[in-house]
Amino acid sequence: MADGEDVHGLKGVLVMFQSCLDSKEEILMDPYLEGWKGLVRFLNTMGPIFSFISKDAVAKIQIMETFRGSEQQENYISLQAMVNYELTNGLVDLKQPGTYPTSGCRTILRLHRALRWLHLFLEGLRTSSPSSKTSTLCTDSYNASLANYHPWIIRKAATMAFYALPTRDAFLENMKVGTTEAAIEMLGEALPSISRVYDITEDLFTQHKLLDLP
């Protein structure tokens, strides 16, 4: 998908994540961030209650866009280039917060953890029965992933926001792919690419011992 093309609805978002991988299976930063921006837009269509959730993602996307607009932009062309550049130049706080509170590595790590949640949630939705509750699916996927990194107060606020999620059918319809069946089929086709992006990032961060960055 070309830059600037509308990624409203969830399909565009998922396609964006598909286009993240280059021929060397490196994750390109720009489509990764575009994917996240589409996700935020999608989240915002579900009501103002999600703005506290999306606000943090927006702040993190902006940090990364600033790197991409800086003189160091080539060093942030992919996640792999970023890790290499920041580690080689000592630009990451590895053990405790310090000089680099907004390093690319720690910022991407937060988005990466949130991507796991999103994947689990959409996979749950895809395989759910028509009577399933989105709030339960969302809470379960959150508890199995991102919640482990959040303090009590954020967990509480997030779980409360989930109760405002639209019903399963409305949610599937909001994806703007057509019928609920079509939306489910689209998820089946598109979710493996999010999973792939997640796995490659996880391997990269594991390899460089970056999974616990403060």
**Residue ranges binding ligand 1PW (CB under 6 A):** 39, 43, 53, 56-57, 110, 113-114, 117-118, 121, 138, 146, 149, 154, 158
Q: How many CB atoms lie within 10 A of CB 196?
A: 16
What's 28's DSSP letter? Answer: B
Q: Which is nearer to ligand 1PW, 17 or 117 (CB)?
A: 117
Q: Which is nearer to ligand 1PW, 81 or 116 (CB)?
A: 116
Q: How far is the CB of 75 from ligand 1PW (least distance, A)?
A: 22
Concatenating the DSSP letter of every residue in 92-104 gives S--SSS-S-TT-H
- Residue 100 corresponds to which amino acid? Y
Q: Which is nearer to ligand 1PW, 25 or 56 (CB)?
A: 56
Q: How far is the CB of 208 from ligand 1PW (least distance, A)?
A: 19
Distance CA 77, CA 159 (A): 35
Q: How far is the CB of 74 from ligand 1PW (least distance, A)?
A: 25
What's 70's DSSP letter? Answer: S
Tokens of 68: 């991409």
What's 90's DSSP letter? Answer: T
Q: How far is the CB of 138 from ligand 1PW (least distance, A)?
A: 6
Q: Which is nearer to ligand 1PW, 25 or 167 (CB)?
A: 167
CA 19 to chain centre: 15
